[in-house]
A and B are shown apart, each in its own frame.
Chain A
Amino acid sequence: NAGVTQTPKFRVLKTGQSMTLLCAQDMNHEYMYWYRQDPGMGLRLIHYSVGEGTTAKGEVPDGYNVSRLKKQNFLLGLESAAPSQTSVYFCASTRTSGPYEQYFGPGTRLTVT
């Protein structure tokens, strides 16, 4: 039981490049989330999904897109990376019944130059 896994662990992009971050969970959770973590700002929700085929915007969605084609996977895309998107990205998942304890992946450290 791997829990929540993220690919890749590290990535360096040039401004304007695109990339996709993959999150996978093997706990049969319905809900999945993408957060970014920046110093002094805690974690902020980018997008989330309450089930296969559904997505919704979080607190800081601009510049990101997501897709949930399979229940176990949640993809985060950057179409045209900007230096402001340099951050650590965490994926999380939880089941549909409360209290919604979220399980986190190991994170992806992204640097945009």
Chain B
Amino acid sequence: AQSVSQHNHHVILSEAASLELGCNYSYGGTVNLFWYVQYPGQHLQLLLKYFSGDPLVKGIKGFEAEFIKSKFSFNLRKPSVQWSDTAEYFCAVSSSFYNQGGKLIFGQGTELSVKP
């Protein structure tokens, strides 16, 4: 079955600490990969996406993610977090084939709390 697994449910960091959130997926075929962020009380916003090419992708606000095909992973990283990064982070995958309707499968989410 297709699935996305995020390793951490809740991560607590101090400002300036480095961040890595794990994401593994189980999906047959070629995929597109996404990280979305949801700030408290807001809707989901795209952080970054991978669909082809360089497996290291850079997103907004200093985030980056690396696609490792052999490990079915797409981990999110940031060298130095800020208090404003406090949010819930979702990893998601979709098939890259046009006839699959672009449906996203989401992980369970990781809540990040950054202490000032």
Instruction: Please give the residue numbers on chain A whose beta carbons come within 8 Å of chain B beta carbons, in ascending order.
Output: 31, 33, 35, 40-45, 48, 50, 56, 58, 90, 92, 94, 96-102, 104-107
Contacts and interface: CB of A to CB of B under 8 A. Distances in A.
Contacts of A40: 9, 108-109
13 contacts: A33-B103, A42-B107, A44-B106, A50-B101, A56-B101, A92-B104, A96-B102, A98-B96, A99-B96, A100-B102, A101-B34, A101-B49, A104-B44
Interface of B: 4, 9, 32, 34, 36, 42-46, 49-51, 90, 94, 96, 98, 101-109
Nearest to B110: A42
Nearest to A30: B102
A19 B14 CA distance: 44
A45 B104 CA distance: 8
B32 to A, nearest CB: 4
B42 A42 contact: no
Contacts of B102: 31, 94, 96, 98, 100, 102
Contact of A42 (B43, B45, B103, B109): B109
B103 A58 contact: yes
Contacts of B103: 33, 45, 48, 58
A100 B109 contact: no
Nearest to A103: B46
